[in-house]
C-alpha cells in the first residue's frame, strides 16, 4: 500500500503539487492522468525517492518511503530514458541493471541472475532483442526492455511514466494487456498516461491530477465532467479523438 | 648505461600511455573528456603552489587535483550545475592562479615547457615504480567496479535508482582519474595527457562493440603508440610525448577506415 499525506512540492517557490492525499491499495491498476505540466512525473518521482520530499509524508507498506526503497526492489519505467545510442551494451545488460540492488558491490551477475533477466525479457516480449546492441532497438522495443528491467527485481510495485509514448497504437493495446497480466499476477501498477481510452479499458482506479488531485476514484466513476475539470481546455483534445 | 636509460624511458612511456588509456573509454562514454582536460590544467595551479611553497611537487599537486576533482563532482551533483561550465570555470581560474603564484616567485627557474609537454626521459626509477603501481591500481579498480562503472556510464540517475552506489563509485572514479593525470604529468605533460585520455577510446569505439574489449583495445592502441612513438622520437629526434599522440591519432584515422559499416 502506498499512502501519500499532505504532500506539497514547490520549484523555485512555485507550487507544482498542492495538498495531495492519496492511497493506493495493493494489486490495484492505477492510472494518473492530467495535462502536460500537471505534475504527474513530479508526483511519481517523489514516490520513487528521485526527488526530495519537501512537505508531507509518503508511506509504502506503512514504512517511510525512503526507508522502504532502500530495502526493497522497485520497478520504474521513466518517461524518457537518457542514453547514448552508441553505448556498448546489449538489451540484456540494460535489463540486468534491475538486479544491481541485490548484487554486492564489485560482484558480477550470476548465471541464475542472467536467467532471470532472460525470463523477464520473455515476459515482456523482447527476448529476440536480448543480445542486440541497444543502439539498434526501436523506441517500442526499448520500452519493453525497460519494462523487463522494471519487473526483473520482483518488485510488487511497478511505476510507469507514459509507457505508451513511443509505442504505436496496436502496440499500446498489447503493452497494456501485458501490464494487466502483470497486475493479475499480483503486482500493483501505477501508470501515468495520456491515453484515456486505453486507461479506462484496463485500469481500475484513475487519478486525475492537475497540480491538485481532482478525483481519484474507481475507473467507472470517472465521468466526462471530472475529466473536464482536470484537463480544462485540454479536454477538447479528447473530442478530437485524442 | 644508455641501454638502461632507454629501457626505463620506454617502460615509462608505455605505462603512462596505458594507464591513461584504461580510463579513456569511461571518460569518453560518460562524456566527461573535458574533465580530463580540465584536471590536467588544474594541476598547473597545484604545481605552482608546490613551487612557491617549495614543497614536493607531485604530492601537493596530487592532493590539490583530487580535492578539486571531488569538489567538482560534489558541486555539480548538489547544485545540478552544468558540469561543463563548472569545469571550465575551475580550469581557467586554476591556470590564472598558477600563473599569478609563479609570477610572485621573482626568480624565474620555472620550466613551463616541461609541464606543458612532459618528458619521458625525465622519468626516474622511482617514478617508474609509481607508474607501475598506478597502472595496476587502475586496472584493479576497473575490473573490481566494472559493473558499477558500466551502469554509471550508461545513465547516472537510473543506476542510482536501481541502487548502484553511484556517488561512492563516482568519487572513487574521479580520485583515480585525478591520480592518473597528476602522476602522468611528468611523462606526458598537461596538454598531452588530455589527448591520451580521449584518443585510445575513440579508436577502440571504431573497432569493438563491447566495453571489456574496448578497454583492452584502448590499452593495446596506447601501448603500440607508446612503443612506436618512442622509436620515432629516438630515430628522428622528436619529442616523445608528441610523437605518441600523433601516432595515436594516426591509429584513430586507420580505425575510422576499418570501422564496420552501419
Ligand atoms: N527542473 C525543473 N525546473 C523548473 N520547473 C520544473 C522542473 N521540473 C518540472 N518543472 C515544472 O513542474 C511542472 C510539473 O512537471 P512534470 O514533469 O511533473 O509534469 P507532467 O505532468 O509529467 O507533464 P508531461 O505530461 O508533459 O510529462 C511543470 O510545470 C514544469 O514546468
Ligand atoms: Mg511527465
Cβ(B257)–Cβ(B203) below 8 Å: no
Q: How far is A46 from A22, CA to CA, in rounded Å?
A: 13
Min Cα distance B211 → chain A (Å) is 6
Partners of B144 on chain A (C-beta within 8 Å) are: 106
What is the percent of chain B where pLDDT is above 90?
A: 48
User: How would DSSP label each residue in B227-251?
Assistant: HHHHHHHHHHT--HHHHHHHHHHHH
Q: Residue B82 pLDDT more than 70? A: no
Give me B58's grid cell: 607531485
Beta-strand ranges (E) seen in A37-182 are 55-60, 63-64, 75-77, 157-161
Cβ(B100)–Cβ(B149) below 8 Å: no
Q: Residue B81 pLDDT more than 80? A: no
Query: How much is the mean pLDDT over chain A?
Result: 88
Whether B153 and A87 lie within 8 Å, measured CB to CB: yes
Please give the ipTM for the structure prediction.
0.88
Give me A122's grid cell: 520473455
Q: Residue B204 pLDDT more than 70? A: yes
Partners of B167 on chain A (C-beta within 8 Å) are: none
Residue B107 pLDDT grade (very low, low, confident, very high; cuts 50, 70, 90) = low
Cβ(B30)–Cβ(B153) below 8 Å: yes
Nearest to B252 by CA among B194, B172, B215, B198: B198
Partners of A89 on chain B (C-beta within 8 Å) are: 150, 154, 211
Give me B43's grid cell: 594541476
Cβ(A97)–Cβ(A149) below 8 Å: yes
Distance of CA B224 to the CA centre of its chain: 17
- List the single range of A130-144, A159-173, B13-27, B158-172 with lowest mean pLDDT: A159-173
Identify the pLDDT of residue A197: 81
Residues 31-60 of chain A whose Cβ lies under 8 A from any Cβ of chain B: 48, 50
Cβ(B148)–Cβ(B169) below 8 Å: yes
Q: pLDDT tens digits for B28-62?
A: 888 777 778 888 888 888 888 888 888 888 889 99
Whether A105 and B148 lie within 8 Å, measured CB to CB: yes
Q: Which residue has the higher pLDDT, B248 or B108?
A: B248
Give me B126's grid cell: 622511482
Say whether residue A175 is in contact with chain B using an 8 A CB cutoff: no
Query: How much is the mean pLDDT over chain B?
Result: 87
Q: How far is B193 from B183, CA to CA, in rounded Å?
A: 10
Q: How far is A43 from B29, CA to CA, in rounded Å?
A: 31
Ligand nearest to the CA of A18: 1
Nearest to B228 by CA among B251, B207, B208: B251
Residue B129 pLDDT grade (very low, low, confident, very high; cuts 50, 70, 90) = very high
Point out the residues of chain A with pLDDT beneath 50.
220-221, 233-242
Q: Tell me the mean pLDDT in the region B92-98.
A: 86
CA angle B55, B58, B62 (to 5 degrees): 110
Identify the pLDDT of residue A220: 46
Residues 31-50 of chain B whose Cβ lies under 8 A from any Cβ of chain A: 31
Q: What is the CATH number of domain B2-258?
A: 1.10.3470.10
Q: Is B166 exposed, middle or buried (0-12, 13-18, 19+ CB in 10 A)?
A: buried
Amino acid at each position: 500500500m502506498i499512502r501519500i499525506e499532505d504532500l506539497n512540492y514547490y520549484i523555485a517557490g512555485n507550487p507544482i503539487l498542492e495538498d495531495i492525499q492519496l492511497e493506493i491499495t495493493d494489486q490495484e491498476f492505477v492510472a494518473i492522468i492530467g495535462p502536460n505540466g500537471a505534475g504527474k512525473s513530479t508526483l511519481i518521482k517523489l514516490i520513487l525517492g528521485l526527488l526530495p520530499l519537501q512537505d508531507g509524508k509518503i508511506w509504502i507498506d506503512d514504512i517511510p518511503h525512503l526507508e522502504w526503497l532502500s530495502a526493497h526492489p522497485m520497478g520504474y519505467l521513466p518517461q524518457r530514458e537518457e542514453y547514448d545510442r552508441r553505448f556498448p551494451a546489449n538489451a540484456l545488460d540494460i535489463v540486468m541493471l534491475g538486479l544491481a540492488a541485490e548484487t554486492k558491490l564489485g560482484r558480477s551477475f550470476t548465471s541464475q541472475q542472467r536467467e532471470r533477466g532472460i525470463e523477464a525479457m520473455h515476459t515482456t516480449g523482447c527476448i529476440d532483442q536480448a543480445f542486440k546492441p541497444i543502439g539498434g532497438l526501436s523506441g517500442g522495443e526499448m520500452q519493453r526492455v525497460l519494462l523487463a528491467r522494471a519487473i526483473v527485481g520482483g518488485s510488487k510495485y511497478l511505476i510507469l511514466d507514459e509507457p505508451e509514448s513511443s509505442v504505436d497504437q496496436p502496440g499500446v493495446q498489447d503493452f497494456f494487456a501485458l501490464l494487466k497480466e502483470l497486475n493479475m499476477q499480483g503486482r500493483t501498477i501505477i501508470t501515468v498516461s495520456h491515453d484515456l481510452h486505453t486507461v479506462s479499458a484496463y485500469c481500475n482506479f484513475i487519478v486525475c491530477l492537475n497540480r491538485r488531485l481532482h478525483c481519484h476514484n474507481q475507473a467507472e466513476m470517472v465521468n466526462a465532467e471530472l475529466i473536464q475539470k482536470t484537463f480544462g481546455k485540454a479536454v477538447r483534445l479528447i473530442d478530437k479523438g485524442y | 648505461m644508455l641501454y638502461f636509460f632507454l629501457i626505463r624511458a620506454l617502460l615509462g612511456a608505455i605505462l603512462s600511455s596505458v594507464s591513461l588509456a584504461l580510463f579513456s573509454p569511461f571518460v569518453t562514454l560518460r562524456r566527461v573528456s573535458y574533465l580530463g582536460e580540465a584536471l590536467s590544467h588544474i594541476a598547473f595551479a597545484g604545481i605552482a603552489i608546490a613551487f612557491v611553497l617549495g614543497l614536493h611537487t607531485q604530492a601537493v599537486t596530487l592532493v590539490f587535483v583530487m580535492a578539486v576533482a571531488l569538489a567538482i563532482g560534489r558541486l555539480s551533483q548538489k547544485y545540478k550545475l552544468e558540469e561543463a561550465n563548472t569545469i571550465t570555470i575551475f580550469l581557467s581560474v586554476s591556470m590564472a592562479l598558477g600563473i599569478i603564484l609563479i609570477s610572485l616567485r621573482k626568480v624565474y627557474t620555472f620550466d613551463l615547457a616541461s609541464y606543458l609537454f612532459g618528458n619521458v626521459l625525465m622519468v626516474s626509477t622511482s617514478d617508474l615504480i609509481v607508474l607501475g603501481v598506478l597502472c595496476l591500481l587502475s586496472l584493479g579498480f576497473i575490473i573490481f567496479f566494472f559493473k558499477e562503472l558500466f551502469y554509471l556510464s550508461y545513465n547516472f540517475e537510473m543506476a542510482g535508482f536501481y541502487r548502484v552506489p553511484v556517488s561512492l563509485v563516482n568519487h572513487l572514479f574521479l580520485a583515480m582519474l585525478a591520480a592518473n593525470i597528476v602522476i602522468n604529468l611528468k611523462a606526458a605533460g598537461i596538454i598531452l595527457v588530455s589527448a591520451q585520455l580521449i584518443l585510445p577510446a575513440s579508436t577502440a569505439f571504431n573497432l569493438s562493440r563491447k566495453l571489456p574489449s574496448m578497454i583492452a583495445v584502448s590499452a593495446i592502441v596506447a601501448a603500440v603508440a607508446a612503443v612506436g612513438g618512442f622509436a620515432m622520437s629516438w630515430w628522428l629526434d622528436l619529442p616523445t610525448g608528441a610523437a605518441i599522440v600523433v601516432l595515436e591519432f594516426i591509429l584513430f584515422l586507420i580505425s575510422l577506415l576499418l570501422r564496420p559499416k552501419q
